[in-house]
A and B are shown apart, each in its own frame.
Chain A
């Protein structure tokens, strides 16, 4: 942690001033509303491949995206990463011109100025001095921790990333919010080789807002998982209990929840929970919320991607659905309260290829996504969750998609163990689980008391009854 880098401030100031000017210009030319979203980020990333440092990347990206409305609800979006004033102002004019050729978005809305909370732990000054060699060192420590644990373990793939940046939202309704952020991330995937046997790949990750990521912990976790995967056996099909560990909950089960909770999906009736406010939709022991202001939370921010203050949103209580997640437009469409979940993240585009092609951040208009979707911790230790199971599977990771809307999950067990009479017997080769996620949420018989921070959620293990397990 040495060698200071030039600050982001110089480029930022001119970008911000030009965006401000562009908003005034389009309003003068007849726009009803205008908004600019700006970011400037620098990322240092190191990639691991086959036990070695494979590549080192430093990338720098800045840009501004404009949403401009005419006649109230006709909206155009244009963005540029050409950061001179002329290009920025032209980009806003382009958004204005597109808006004129567009049709009205019913209930289109931008937030008005509100008090922005101060969320601690979202910026770590130490990132300003982090050098590529520091990041290489973190990656190397993770590889060593994994491979020193057991000689059969090979660190196959991985990434260590440190990102530092600024974001700002300005709109013609008085919103002017700005914050700095830092994010660090480590992911390591490994496998084991012994005689003629190769284990499935096992992975672990850690996401932080501070520079304190723990490569040794991640490396060792991967190694432990790998070692536990030797000598897998095929199983017969049965219907039983599944204990989903946090990494499994954070993927397919999370996707099903998001599909049901997004305000835009509710407004267009794509959500399975579209008309279920006040109804029991999950087991009583499953208390779900979204916490955008969690101290040091990976998905926390002081304001969402259209400048509305972040907040904590209670979603279910005693199994009943209380509210959905909204940005300004979906809240307006459904006459509900804006929950500060406007997101320009690529994930907010769902499986739609559009967002993946154009990219996230300043390159896209906001959708809706959770910040830190949280399932409240239960009281079961990991061994309690499995010791009460007569026949079931312990699922560390699955692959396969949930069909958002219907909630259909049929996922391959990429890393799982058979449980019989309360004991975790052996790793499973092949096999799938299938069912409807929304039925599963009603059959949660146990919630773990340990949790894990994933990209968009913080969830414990869930034990679910009546899961169809298909043998390999």
Chain B
């Protein structure tokens, strides 16, 4: 692959640009979904392609991609990228003075103990099948159970006119389990996702069957639960929900592109932005996180970036362009889901530093409130206004957990919510996550439980 990329960089058209970044990629994905006992989907996806980005006149980027990786097509794609950049130079008002970076030459493979490629199709099929079985065997009220295994093997090649030649290989494995319990007209869904950068060793500690059983039991228990109330409650947010809150409502406004567009954190580095108990960071170098990347898609090394320290805003997440615009160094947050799309500022593995509370201590200080867990996804805007679904909750009364409640949505402004945090648990959990900011991405979240005030939009009393 590097040979084709080199030819592009040596071409005449490359010399018309200030900077050329070329990304080649080979991706193989294996998917196996078991629904209600049969293999509903068993797929192999083989993809390859080249994406080219060109900076022209220090004003304008152009991007083009193709799935045809031969020299002729790659060159044509470079030409298109340069042409696109030139086409919009006149409309740009701001110079892009990139901080020069060292052109790294390296070859890195993420650690994989049990490569999925060494497992037979039958062995792969057993992973979702066992998870399905666990969910189904949770009880007769499970009317639908689906388990999906995905293995992603990536080989990425980055070459730039600054001299970078970076090959990165990685394997990611995910298992998603959904169960629906039903009694007459009451329908209760539940779900769980496991995933990491690595191989099938993901299931050494937590077997697919156990994940399935956990999801099935949760759905069944919710059948007899009441609808949650509506209103503002002092609540303990479990890590599996805190992960969504952190990513959607705090993480996105800390991405420099959204912040520069008028995000909720403003541009006030050094200002108090959250509870003093909160330290938030993004770290692409966490090896098993789904957002593990040694280098980003501009060739910048991914390291730990402290974003909020003891409540004080320290940094945003940057690509090279946003870093140049604000006079700071890039933070390794420029990522593209695949070769076909342009990199943009993304979180990698975002985390909250653990505090010093035990979960029980967080609960026992609440006279009336909620213990909320599980996510059905969510969304937030750059002002940090968020809405997202939780799977279940429990009343907390007089410092003790009480009856189970079904899921609903939470809403509010995350910056305001994070200012109300008065306890952080002492254990952070690495969770898998996904993001759909203009393009898809898998990411990691390293989160403890938090205690805060939050608005619940339930239908119960």
Q: How far is the CA of A132 from the CA of B86 in the complex (A)?
A: 11
Q: Is B436 an interface residue (CB 8 A)?
A: yes
Q: Is A178 an interface residue (CB 8 A)?
A: no
Q: Is B295 an interface residue (CB 8 A)?
A: no
Q: Is A424 an interface residue (CB 8 A)?
A: no
Contact across chains for A57 and B63 when beta carbons are under 8 A apart: yes
Interface centre among A49, A268, A364 (most CB of B within 10 A): A268
Q: Is B85 an interface residue (CB 8 A)?
A: yes
Contact across chains for B43 and A77 when beta carbons are under 8 A apart: yes
Contact across chains for A83 and B67 when beta carbons are under 8 A apart: yes
Q: A98-B42, A269-B144, A434-B230 are in contact. Are A406 and B33 (CB under 8 A)?
A: no
Interface size for chain B: under 10, 10 to 19, 20 to 34, or 35 or more residues? Answer: 35 or more
Interface centre among A56, A82, A359 (most CB of B within 10 A): A56
Q: How far is the CA of A53 from the CA of B87 in the complex (A)?
A: 11
> Closest chain B residue to A191 by CB distance?
B262
> Closest chain B residue to A410 by CB distance?
B457
Q: A55-B61, A414-B385 are in contact. Are A403 and B407 (CB under 8 A)?
A: yes
Q: Is B389 an interface residue (CB 8 A)?
A: yes
Q: How far is the CA of A11 from the CA of B67 in the complex (A)?
A: 12
> Closest chain B residue to A99 by CB distance?
B42
Contact across chains for B92 and A358 when beta carbons are under 8 A apart: no
Tell me which residues across on chain A come within 8 A of B317, comparing CB atoms.
none
Q: Is B403 an interface residue (CB 8 A)?
A: no
> Closest chain A residue to B228 by CB distance?
A410
Q: Which of A347-362 contact B (CB under 8 A)?
A: 351-354, 356-359
Binary CB contact string for chain A from 32 to 66 against chain B (1 if under 8 A, 0 otherwise): 00000000000000100110110111111111000
Contact across chains for A270 and B180 when beta carbons are under 8 A apart: yes
Contact across chains for A58 and B64 when beta carbons are under 8 A apart: yes
Tell me which residues across on chain B come within 8 A of A140, comparing CB atoms.
91
Residue from the list B40, B48, B85, B121 in contact with A97, Cβ < 8 A: B121
> Closest chain B residue to A351 by CB distance?
B377
Q: Which of A135-153 contact B (CB under 8 A)?
A: 136, 140
Tell me which residues across on chain A come within 8 A of B61, comparing CB atoms.
55
Tell me which residues across on chain A come within 8 A of B65, comparing CB atoms.
57-61
Residue from the list B42, B188, B459 in contact with A102, Cβ < 8 A: B42
Contact across chains for B125 and A408 when beta carbons are under 8 A apart: no
Q: Is A322 an interface residue (CB 8 A)?
A: no
Tell me which residues across on chain B come within 8 A of A353, comparing CB atoms.
148, 150, 174, 176, 193, 434
Residue from the list B68, B91, B188, B378 in contact with A136, Cβ < 8 A: B91
Contact across chains for A98 and B43 when beta carbons are under 8 A apart: yes
Contact across chains for B458 and A434 when beta carbons are under 8 A apart: yes
> Closest chain A residue to B231 by CB distance?
A470
Tell me which residues across on chain B come within 8 A of A435, comparing CB atoms.
459
Contact across chains for A468 and B230 when beta carbons are under 8 A apart: yes
Distance (whole angstroms) from the CB of B246 to the closest CB of chain A:
18
Q: Is B29 an interface residue (CB 8 A)?
A: yes
Tell me which residues across on chain A come within 8 A of B152, comparing CB atoms.
357
Contact across chains for B45 and A363 when beta carbons are under 8 A apart: yes
Distance (whole angstroms) from the CB of B90 to the closest CB of chain A:
10
Q: Is A8 an interface residue (CB 8 A)?
A: no
Distance (whole angstroms) from the CB of A354 to the closest CB of chain B:
5
> Closest chain A residue to B338 by CB distance?
A359
Distance (whole angstroms) from the CB of B291 to the closest CB of chain A:
14
> Closest chain A residue to B81 by CB distance?
A58
Q: A52-B93, A60-B65, A412-B385 are in contact. Are A193 and B40 (CB under 8 A)?
A: no
Tell me which residues across on chain B come within 8 A of A201, comparing CB atoms.
381-383
Residue from the list B46, B66, B91, B409 in contact with A91, Cβ < 8 A: B46
Residue from the list B29, B340, B386 in contact with A357, Cβ < 8 A: B29
Q: How far is the CA of A206 from the CA of B237 in the complex (A)?
A: 39
Distance (whole angstroms) from the CB of A69 to the closest CB of chain B:
11
Q: How far is the CA of A56 from the CA of B340 in the complex (A)?
A: 13
Tell me which residues across on chain A come within 8 A of B41, comparing CB atoms.
77, 354, 365
Contact across chains for A78 and B409 when beta carbons are under 8 A apart: no
Q: A50-B261, A60-B66 are in contact. Are A400 and B39 (CB under 8 A)?
A: no
Q: How far is the CA of A102 from the CA of B41 in the complex (A)?
A: 9
Interface centre among B41, B44, B48, B389 (most CB of A within 10 A): B41
Q: Is A188 an interface residue (CB 8 A)?
A: no
Q: Is A449 an interface residue (CB 8 A)?
A: no
Q: Which of A401-438 contact B (CB under 8 A)?
A: 401, 403-406, 408, 410-412, 414, 430, 432-436
Contact across chains for B80 and A58 when beta carbons are under 8 A apart: yes
Binary CB contact string for chain A from 373 to 417 against chain B (1 if under 8 A, 0 otherwise): 000000000000000000000000001110111101011101000
Q: Is A103 an interface residue (CB 8 A)?
A: yes
Q: How far is the CA of A270 from the CA of B43 in the complex (A)?
A: 24
Contact across chains for A101 and B42 when beta carbons are under 8 A apart: yes
Interface centre among A74, A98, A411 (most CB of B within 10 A): A98
Distance (whole angstroms) from the CB of B416 to the closest CB of chain A:
10
Known: A60-B64, A434-B457. 18 other contacts (CB 8 A): A46-B88, A56-B87, A60-B68, A61-B49, A75-B42, A77-B44, A78-B44, A80-B45, A81-B67, A95-B44, A103-B37, A156-B262, A354-B31, A400-B389, A400-B409, A408-B459, A434-B408, A470-B455
Q: Which 3 A-B pairs have the closest CB atoms?
A: A410-B457, A400-B387, A101-B121
25 contacts between A and B (CB under 8 A): A46-B88, A50-B261, A52-B94, A61-B66, A79-B43, A82-B48, A91-B44, A132-B84, A200-B381, A269-B182, A270-B143, A354-B31, A354-B150, A357-B29, A357-B150, A358-B45, A400-B389, A401-B409, A403-B376, A406-B189, A410-B457, A412-B411, A414-B385, A430-B411, A432-B387
